Amino acid sequence: MPVARLAPRRRLLGVLGLLALALVCGCQLDVAVDVRVNEDGSGSVTVGVGLDDAAVARVGNLDRQLRVDDLAAAGWAVTAPIREGDLTWVRATKGFSTPDEASVVLSELTGSAGPFRDFEVRVDEGMFGTDYEVSGTVDLRDGPSAFGDEELSVALGGDPFGGTLEVIEREEGRPIAEMVRFGVAIDVPGQAEPAVFTPGFADAEPTQIDVSSSSGNPLSTVAIWSVIGIVVVVGVVVLRQGFRRVNR
């Protein structure tokens, strides 16, 4: 089942469309979204789709099945399928130069009304350091249908979800929610390690992403201590002068 070229509005689903293929096959799928923000406000967004051996066998040759012309035209760099551990991964990465660009790139994940929405990257530079924040919402309560709209169904050569999910669950002996794992990692300056969120189809509420940190300016720190030092010296001088006057 070849994956047809997708229209620009849903470009990234050229990669996330593997979600539909894997679910139709009734196999295990991992979806990883990684957001990295550098100190100057630039960074990258990477989306990875990992399929287990059964999914790969049923999907067929991933190099042929996955057509990424629209992704490339939109500035996404897509890697060839690579085996890592028990999964075969396909990843798409797009960089950004400013926080505003980051918000635009993140909006391309599933569109403004999709399960990944309202993502923003903010960088506020102050006198004593820089504040970073990444926020957004991941709402998977609609289940796989959130990724299976009419356009995607046509691109996949049919309706990948209509009337089939119940059959897949019976064949696999487990709910769809257990066949797909999501991970969202947010890496901003000032953190020891990325903040990781694990939304899922079985969630009762949307997952709110809100990661913030501060990165101090070393020059500002030196300036602060210099001012403190001056204040201390002046204070000592004033006290000494006052002490001398009292003892005259």
- pLDDT band of residue 9 (cuts 50, 70, 90) is very low
Give 79-133 pLDDT, tens digit per residue: 888 999 999 998 999 999 999 999 999 988 877 778 899 999 999 987 668 999 9
So what's the pLDDT on residue 60? 73
- pLDDT band of residue 166 (cuts 50, 70, 90) is confident
So what's the pLDDT on residue 154? 53
Give 222-234 pLDDT, tens digit per residue: 444 455 556 555 5
So what's the pLDDT on residue 51? 86
Q: Which of 34-38, 140-144, 230-234 has the lowest mean pLDDT?
A: 230-234
So what's the pLDDT on residue 165? 66
Going from the C-alpha of 222 to that of each of 125, 191, 211, 214, 233, the distances in angstroms are 17, 22, 28, 17, 16
Please say if the pLDDT value at position 63 is more than 50.
Answer: yes
Q: Which amino acid is at 120?
A: E
Please say if the pLDDT value at position 204 is more than 80.
Answer: yes
So what's the pLDDT on residue 52? 86
Structure tokens at 161: 């979800």
